[in-house]
Amino acid sequence: MTRRTCRFLLPVAALLLAGCGAPDPDEAVPPPGPVASEAKAPGPGHSLGSAPRPLPGLGPMTRARVPADARQAVVVTGRGKDSPESEAVLYERTPAGWRARGGWPAHNALNGWTDDHRLGDLRSPVGVFTLSDAGGLLPDPGTRLPYDHSVAFTATGSGFEGEPLAGSFDYVVAIDYNRRPGTSPLDWSRPFGSEHGGGIWFHVDHGGPTQACVSLGRAHMKELLRALDPDRHPVVVMGDAVSLAR
């Protein structure tokens, strides 16, 4: 299989530093700032002897990285360390614990997952990251996140399996890996250094592996955008199943 570099129309600076779809892959790094462990107090209607339902599939180390104030979590579970296929499930925290709101098939990076993401490694970063900002080539579909509607999200070229990339950035949600939360997904600042990559997004699936992003079907991206609520402090928990179970 011939690997083809994803290309899209962005300003020159973006082409030099972009992750998802530019000559440099979409990426991620250590989560920005400390995270707290989940609240453990039982909710109304629960006996003192029963604990709220935790996020499924996560081990103690991963659960401890989910901020205590997070009330929404998208758990992206890869099929394997080296697999580009995964599943994304949106959970919401209730007094009884975490409950699934929706689940969708997804793609991640061509080479799978890594705990130490580097520019160009074609792996998605394992970790817990906040979700603060959105945007896209198409108008805001009704999200409560800040939304940057711009022609700079135009995607062209072909993916790793020869599939067209057109429409991949019609809707995106920035994953807060090596970026400044509170800015457009098109902001190419890299607080931890360019060698750690950046520009890692949720975006519309183009039918093949990504460079580091997570992609969902178009209808599922719209569903995710409409569900995410900044007042609920949404996060993404992402990685292969074995890594997340630690």
* pLDDT at residue 89, rounded to an integer: 98
Give me the DSSP letters along 28-86.
--S-SS---PPP----TT--TT-PPBPPTT--HHHHTTS-TT--EEEEEEESSTT-SEE
Residue 48, domain member (yes or no): no
Q: What is the DSSP letter of 224?
A: H
Question: Using CA atoms, how far apart are residues 221 and 8, in angstroms rounded to an integer?
Answer: 20
Q: How far is CA 230 from the centre of its chain?
A: 15
Is the whole-model pTM more than 0.85?
no
Query: How many structural domains are present in the chain?
Result: 1
Residue 109, domain member (yes or no): yes
Question: Using CA atoms, how far apart are residues 241 and 58, in angstroms rounded to an integer?
Answer: 8
Question: Using CA atoms, how far apart are residues 93 and 117, in angstroms rounded to an integer?
Answer: 29
Residue 209, domain member (yes or no): yes
> Which residues constitute the domain of residue 183?
7-32+78-244
Residue 104, domain member (yes or no): yes
Q: How far is CA 64 from the centre of its chain?
A: 19
Q: For every one of its 246 residues, what pLDDT tens digit does the chain have, with 9 covering 90 and above?
A: 333 333 333 333 333 233 564 433 333 334 333 333 333 333 333 334 468 899 999 999 999 999 999 999 999 999 999 999 999 999 999 999 999 998 999 999 999 999 999 999 999 999 999 999 999 999 999 999 999 999 999 999 999 999 999 999 999 999 999 999 999 999 999 999 999 999 999 999 999 999 999 999 999 999 999 999 999 999 999 999 999 999
Q: What is residue 217's three-state secondary structure? A: coil
Main-chain dihedrals φ then ψ at residue 83, nearest 5 degrees:
-95, 145
Residue 66, domain member (yes or no): no
* pLDDT at residue 98, rounded to an integer: 98
Residue 219, domain member (yes or no): yes
Q: Is 3 exposed, middle or buried (0-12, 13-18, 19+ CB in 10 A)?
A: exposed
Question: Using CA atoms, how far apart are residues 212 and 209, in angstroms rounded to an integer?
Answer: 9
Spatial CB neighbours of 152, under 8 Å, sequence gap ≥ 6 = 9, 10, 11, 14, 186
